[in-house]
Amino acid sequence: MPKYVYSFTEGNKDLKDLLGGKGANLGEMTGLGLPVPPGFTITTDACRYYMNHGENPPELQEQVGAAIVHLEGVFGRTLGDASHPLLVSVRSGAKFSMPGMMETVLNIGLNDNSVLGLAEFAGNERFAWDSYRRLIQMFGKTVLDIDGEAFAEALDAKKAAAGAATDVELTAEDLKELVETFKAIVLKETGEAFPQDPRMQMNRAIVAVFNSWNTDRARIYRKRERISDDLGTAVNVQTMVFGNLGADSGTGVAFTRDPATGRPGVYGDYLPNAQGEDVVAGIRNTLSLADFEKIDARSYSELRDVMHRLENHYADLCDIEFTVEKGKLWMLQTRVGKRTAGAAFRIAIQLVDEGLISMDEALDRVTGAQLSNLMFPQFDASAVKTLLTKGMAASPGAAVGAAVFDSATAVEWAAAGRSVILVRRETNPDDLGGMIASAGVLTSRGGKTSHAAVVARGMGTTCVVGADALDVDLVAQSFTVGGRKVLSGDIIAIDGTTGEVFLGDVPVVPSAVVQYLEEGLDKALAAIAGDTDASELVLAVHRILTHADKVRRLRVRANADNAEDAARARRLGAQGIGLCRTEHQFLGDRRRVIERLILAREPDAKAEALNALLPLQRQDFVELFTAMDGLHTTVRLIDPPLHEFLPDRTELAVRVARSEERGSAVAEDLELLAAVERMHEANPMLGLRGVRLGLVVEGLFALQVRAISEAAAQLKKEGKDPRPEIMVPLVGSHVELDLVRDDAETIIAQVASEWDVDLSIPIGCMVELPRAALTAYKIALGAEFFSFGTNDLTQTTWGFSRDDVEGAFFNEYLEDRVFKVSPFESIDVDGVGALVKIGVEGGRRTRPDIGLGVCGEHGGDPDSIHFFNAVGLDYVSCSPFRVPIARLEAGRAAVGAAGSDSR
C-alpha cells in the first residue's frame, strides 16, 4: 500500500522531494533533538494524486487517522475533546520555499464545546476565545473562500466599539461576541454553519492546502521563480503550541545572519502574546530580538543556541520560526533563508572563512541573477533629496516611480511602461502581481520578516517596510507623512539599503560592483574607502568571480560592434568578441552609400560604391581589432536583407505620390521606390539575406573580407596582434560556405602578399537553421568554427517570427504552460537544444578541433549557459554587460551547480 503519511521522526532534510522543504526540515530538527511540536507530513505524492484525480488517495484518510491517534496517545489528549482538547495546525510545505503563496490553518479542533475545555485547561478564557476566532477567520478565508476583508472589517469594528487600539486589548467577552459575528459571516457567505466536527475541519483544511498549490498567486510565483507546476505541495499537520497565552508567550521569526546585508549577528522579529501569522502578515509592528531578550532572557538564550546549532548543521543562513508558550521555546520551522544579492555573496565568503564550506560551494551559493542585481545603479549620495520618512531596509536597491496603492493599478501602469512603487499598509499574497510589476514596495507596517520583506527579497525587488510615519489611505489612494500628502501618480523614491523614502525623482550612480568590474579591485576599493559594507561586498564578489574564472571550462566572449563596446567588454572580462554585427556599421551617413550600391546598374557604379565603403569598413576593423588586440574577434559578414537600408516602402510611396501630384517627382525617389518594390519580400527574414545576399550581390562579401584582411595586415605591420575570424551567416548548405570560402581565401592571400605579412584568418559559419545543424558533419568540412545563432535557430525551429509572436500570443502560451519560459529568453532544451547537440556532435565528428560557440542572446542566460557547458561548447558570447554574469555561471556550471537556484 502506498505510504502517504510520515511522522516527523521519520523525516530528514534529504527528503524534500517527498516531504517538501518544511516537512523535511521538521524531521531534521526532530532528529537533532530540538524542541519541535510532534506532528506528521502528508507527502507531495498525495498532492499529485489529488491534482490528477480530483480526490484524495483512498489510503490517505486511514493513514491520517492513524497518525492523529498516535499524536493523541503521545499527549493524552483527543482532537477537539470538550474537556482536554488536542489542537493542530495544517500548513503547506513545497519542495522550494514559496513564502505566503499557499495556505495555513491554525487551531484546528476548536468548536463551541472544546473552546470551553481549552479555556479551563489553559486557565485563560481570553486566550481560548482568541484562538477560536482565529480558526474561524483563517478557515473561512482559506477553506471556505470567503473574502478576508469581511472578517477584517468585523475585527476593526469590534476594536472601535471596545476602544481598543490593537486586537490584544480585546477582552474575553469581546472575543466571544466576535466569534459569533465570524460564525454569522460564515453562514451568510456559504449557507452553512461553521463545521463543529474536528476531523471534518482537518480534512477540509488538507484539501484546501492541496488546492492552494494552483491558486493564481502560487502559479504567478512559480512562473517567476521557474518552479515546476508538477511538484505539488506536502501538508504538515502539527500539534499546536500557543504564543497567545499571555505576556510570557509569543511568536517570532529569526535569521542567523541579516538576510538583507549578510552581516553576522541576530536578526528577526518577535511579537508577545501572538500567533505566528501575526508576524508574517505585518498587521502589528514587531519587536526586535534584542527586545525579546529583555522580555524572556532564558528563552532568548536557548534560541541563540538553537540558531548557532542549525547554522553549523546546514552550513548556511537559516530562517527560523519559533513560538514561546508560557516560557517554553518551541521550534516550528527552519529553512535555508532567502537573502538579497549582496547578502548572498557576503554570506558565502563568510562561511568559507569560517571553514564551513569550500570555495566551490560558495560559488554554488550565488547566481548570475544575483550578480546582475548588484550591477544596477544606486542613489547618488551627493544629490539634493527631499526625505519623507525612514522605515526598515528590507531589500536593497534604488527604486523610483509613481506611487500606486493597489496591485491592479501597479500591473496596469507597469504594462503601459510606467515605473511604479506599490504602497500598502502591509502586503498579502494577493498583492503578488503588483509586487512583480513594481520597481519597489513600500509598507507602513511590518518588519524584516513580514510578507512584503520576504517576497521582495526573494524577487530582488527594492523594499522598505515598517515606515510607520506613513498614514496610508487606500480609499483615497494617498498617504500622508509630516504634513505632506502624496497622491496616486506622484513620484517617490525608496532606498532599500537605508530604508529612506524620498519625494520626487532621485538621480542614480553606478554601483560599487560595476566600478570594480570595470576599473579593477584597487581603484574600486580606493573609491569606496570608509564604506565597510560596500568594501566587503566588492571583495566577496572579487573572490567568488576569481574562483569562477579559475574553475570554468567555457570561455566568455562578448557581442560588440564597435571599439567602445569592445573595450568595455574587455574591461568586464571578455576573452574576445564572439559576434561583431557588421550591418550596424552601415547605418547613419553610410546608408546613402548602400543606397548607391543597390541602385547601381553598371559594374563601374557598383565598384564605385564598394570602393567608397572599403576605407570606412577598414577603419572600423582597425579600431575594433586594436581594442581586442591579442584576442579572437569574430566578424559576421552582413546578414540582414538590403531593403532594411532603404527608406520605408509605404512612406516612400506616399512621398512619390505627393510629388507626382505636384508635378515635381524626384528621379532619385522614383529609382529608390522601384528598388524597394523590386526587393520587397513577403517574409524577408527567410528571404535574400545572409550568405544568400553575399552570393547574389557581387562584391559585397568581398568588400568586407578585404576590409578585415587589410585592417589585420595594417596592425600586424604596427607590431600588434589582431586575431580576426570571418563568420558567414545563415548557411544551410556546405556548398554555400565553400563558395564564400574560396573567394575569401583568395582575397586574404592577395592582401597578405600586398602587405607582406602572414595572415591566418579562420573562416567559419553560424548555425542558425535546422538544416545546418542536421548537416553539420558536412558543413564542418569547410568550417573551422561554428557559432550557434540561437535567436534565429529558435525562430526557424519553432516557425516563429519573433517580432510578431511575442506580442501576439506569448502571454497565453506562458499562462497555459506551453512554455515555462520564453524560448527566446532561455534555450528550449528539448527542441532547439537537441539541434545544438546534433550540430556539436556532427561538427566534432568531422573536425575534432573545430571551435564551437554560441552568440545568440542565450549566451548570457544562466540556465542556457549550463546547457552549453554540458553539450561541450568552447565559449559563449553575450552583451558586454552580461559578461561578468556569464563568467560566474560558467564557473557554477563547472562545479555542477544547478542553472536556477531557489535561494
Residue 156: CB atoms within 10 Å: 12
pLDDT, average across residues 721-739: 97
Percent of the chain at pLDDT above 70? Answer: 96
The pLDDT, as a whole number, for residue 897 is: 62
- Per the document, the length of the chain is 903
Residue 395 has pLDDT above 70, yes or no: yes
Collapsing DSSP to helix, strand or coil, 91 comes out as strand
Residue 424: CB atoms within 10 Å: 27
Residues 346, 537 contacting (CB under 8 angstroms) = yes
What are 223's three cell numbers?
A: 512562473
How far the first Cα of the chain sits from its last, in Å, is 35
Helix 148-162, helix 172-190: angle, nearest 10? 150
Residue 229: CB atoms within 10 Å: 14
pLDDT, average across residues 198-222: 92
Residues 436, 459 contacting (CB under 8 angstroms) = yes
Q: For the chain, what is the mean pLDDT?
A: 90
Q: Tell me the C-alpha distance between 626 and 591, whole Å.
A: 25
The pLDDT, as a whole number, for residue 584 is: 73
The pLDDT, as a whole number, for residue 182 is: 96
β-strands 392-395, 462-465 pairing: antiparallel
pLDDT, average across residues 254-276: 89
Per residue in 628-660, pLDDT (tens digit) is 999 999 999 998 876 677 777 777 787 777 777
pLDDT, average across residues 144-151: 92
**For residues 866 and 825, which has the higher predicted lDDT (pLDDT)?**
866
| Eight-state DSSP code of residue 857 | G
Collapsing DSSP to helix, strand or coil, 426 comes out as coil
pLDDT, average across residues 20-24: 95
Q: Tell me the C-alpha distance between 445 and 421, whole Å.
A: 16
Read off the pTM: 0.81
Residues 391, 362 contacting (CB under 8 angstroms) = no
pLDDT, average across residues 733-751: 97
Weakest-pLDDT range from 34-38, 341-345, 425-429, 523-527: 425-429
The pLDDT, as a whole number, for residue 900 is: 45
Q: Is 463 a catalytic residue?
A: no
pLDDT, average across residues 686-700: 87
The pLDDT, as a whole number, for residue 743 is: 96
Q: Tell me the C-alpha distance between 703 and 122, whole Å.
A: 91
What are 623's three cell numbers?
A: 579600431
Per residue in 528-574, pLDDT (tens digit) is 888 888 899 999 999 999 999 999 999 999 999 889 989 999 999 99
Closest residue by Cα to residue 253 from 320, 197, 194: 320
| Eight-state DSSP code of residue 586 | G
Closest residue by Cα to residue 839 from 793, 885, 895: 793
**675 — pLDDT class (breaks 50, 70, 90):** confident
Q: Residue 195: CB partners within 8 Å, gap ≥ 6?
A: 201, 204
Q: Tell me the C-alpha distance between 396 and 394, whole Å.
A: 7
Per residue in 838-851, pLDDT (tens digit) is 999 999 999 999 99
Q: Tell me the C-alpha distance between 470 and 360, whole Å.
A: 45
Closest residue by Cα to residue 888 from 523, 225, 369, 513: 369
Q: Tell me the C-alpha distance between 826 and 249, whole Å.
A: 49
The pLDDT, as a whole number, for residue 901 is: 45
Residue 793 has pLDDT above 90, yes or no: yes
The pLDDT, as a whole number, for residue 449 is: 64
Q: Is 632 a catalytic residue?
A: no
Q: Tell me the C-alpha distance between 752 and 764, whole Å.
A: 19
**For residues 586 and 703, which has the higher predicted lDDT (pLDDT)?**
703
Residue 738: what residue type?
Answer: D
Residue 903 has pLDDT above 50, yes or no: no
User: How many CA atoms within 13 Å lie on the side-chain side of 41?
Assistant: 30
Catalytic residue among 47, 318, 451, 580: 451
- Of all helices (H) and strands (E), which one includes residue 852? strand 851-854
What are 266's three cell numbers?
A: 541576530
pLDDT, average across residues 505-510: 86
pLDDT, average across residues 435-452: 85
Computed from CA positions of residues 659, 663, 664, 665, in that sequence, does the dihedral angle turn out positive or negative?
positive
pLDDT, average across residues 449-461: 77
What are 109's three cell numbers?
A: 479542533
Write b or e for each residue in 621-641: b if 16 or more Cβ atoms lie within 10 A of its Cβ, otherwise e.
bbbbbbbbeebbbbbbbbbbb
Catalytic residue among 580, 765, 855, 878: 855
pLDDT, average across residues 190-202: 95
Q: What are phi and psi of 558, to 5 degrees?
A: -125, 155
In Å, how far are 119, 186, 187, 650, 682 from 194, measured between CA atoms?
20, 6, 7, 68, 65
**For residues 584 and 83, which has the higher predicted lDDT (pLDDT)?**
83
Distance of CA 803 to the CA centre of its chain: 24
**For residues 26 and 682, which has the higher predicted lDDT (pLDDT)?**
26
The H-assigned helical ranges of 559-647 are 563-571, 591-599, 603-627
Q: Tell me the C-alpha distance between 301 and 816, whole Å.
A: 50
The pLDDT, as a whole number, for residue 282 is: 58
Burial label, 36 (beta-carbon count in 10 A; 0-12, 13-18, 19+)? buried
pLDDT, average across residues 385-394: 90
Residue 58: CB atoms within 10 Å: 11
β-strands 471-473, 478-481 pairing: antiparallel
Q: Tell me the C-alpha distance between 690 and 679, whole Å.
A: 15
**609 — pLDDT class (breaks 50, 70, 90):** confident
pLDDT, average across residues 706-717: 97
Computed from CA positions of residues 424, 425, 431, 436, in that sequence, does the dihedral angle turn out positive or negative?
positive
Closest residue by Cα to residue 635 from 569, 722, 735: 722
Q: Residue 866: CB partners within 8 Å, gap ≥ 6?
A: 889, 892, 893, 897, 898, 899
**283 — pLDDT class (breaks 50, 70, 90):** low
Strands (E) across 454-543 are located at 462-465, 471-473, 478-481, 484-487, 491-495, 500-503, 508-509
Residue 902 has pLDDT above 60, yes or no: no
